Each structure stands twice: as C-alpha cells, then as structure tokens.
C-alpha cells in the first residue's frame, strides 16, 4: 500500500496534466481551426484512439490458458449487446457482469 504523499502527488500531477490538455489547446489551436490537416485528424482520431485503448486493456490476455474465456465471452456480450440495443449502459453493465461472474467463479484462481 503506497504512502499518502505519493497517492496525493499522483492525483495532483495527473490532474495538472489533464487540465492543461483540456485548456491549453483553446489558445494554441485557435489559429489552426481552419487547417485542413488538423480538421482531418480531429475527425478521424477519436475512433482510432478508442480502438487502441481497447487493445491496451486486453494487452495481457492469457491466450494459452482456459481463463482467457472470461474476457473473450465478456467482450462478445458487450459488442453483441451494443450492436443489438445501442444502449451504452446496458452493454457496459452486461459485459462487466459476465466478466465478474466468470472470473469470480469458474475461472477463479
């Protein structure tokens, strides 16, 4: 369990970096709003960044173990529910529930 000073410092540093990224571009990017390249990137980056973050979350999949079934089943449920009902909350809760159920029982280690 890390000490309190470290925990608070980690939050403050993260908060400062996050806020800077949210606020600074309003000044810095204002002249670039008309730039074709910036517009091109800004419309395409969100979809790609989300895909990369999904891969990042699944980077340590235990591909050679049976317990890989838990995240794969949960992912299938999440995608299936979302394509079916288009309800973000339902998809997230459904997928997470499947993962918790499998990881806590069948594939508990």
Partner 1 sequence: MRTSPAVVDGLASPAPAPPPRTRSEARAAFEDSASVGLGFVPLGIAFGVLVTHSGVGWWWAGLSSALIYGGSFEFLLIGMVTAAAPLVSVAVSAFLVNLRHVFYALSFPLDRVEGRLGKTYSTFALCDEAYALTAGQQARSWSSRRILWLQLFMHLYWAGGATAGALLGSLVPDSVTGLDFALTALFTVLALDAVRDRRGDLPTPLLALVSALAARLLFPGQLLPVAFALFTAGLLARHLPTRRKQSHA
Site for partner 1 in 13-52 (CB under 8 A): 13-15, 17-19, 21-23, 25-26, 28-30, 32-33, 36-52
85: Cα separation from own chain's centroid: 21
> Which of 12, 62, 84, 85 touches partner 1 by CB under 8 A?
12
Give CA–CA dist 20/24, Å, rounded: 5
> Which of 65, 84, 85, 100 touches partner 1 by CB under 8 A?
100
- 67 to 86, contacts with partner 1 by CB under 8 A? 70-71, 74-75, 78-79, 82-83
Rounded to a whole number of angstroms, the minimum distance from the CB of residue 62 to partner 1 is: 13
Cβ–Cβ contacts within 10 Å for residue 71, how many? 20
Q: Which helix (H) or strand (E) holds 96?
A: helix 88-104
Q: Pick from 15, 88, 12: which is nearest to 50 by CA? A: 88
Contact between 106 and partner 1 by CB under 8 A: the answer reads: no
């Amino acid at each position: 369990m890390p000490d309190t000073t470290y925990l608070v410092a980690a939050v403050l540093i993260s908060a400062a970096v996050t806020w800077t990224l949210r606020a600074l571009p309003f000044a810095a990017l204002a002249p670039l709003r008309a730039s074709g390249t910036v517009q091109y990137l800004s419309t395409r980056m969100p979809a790609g960044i989300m895909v990369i973050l999904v891969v990042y979350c699944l980077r340590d999949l235990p591909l050679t173990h049976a317990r890989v079934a838990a995240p794969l089943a949960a992912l299938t449920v999440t995608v299936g529910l979302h394509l079916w009902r288009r309800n973000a909350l339902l998809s997230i809760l459904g997928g997470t529930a499947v993962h918790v159920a499998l990881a806590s029982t069948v594939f508990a280690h």
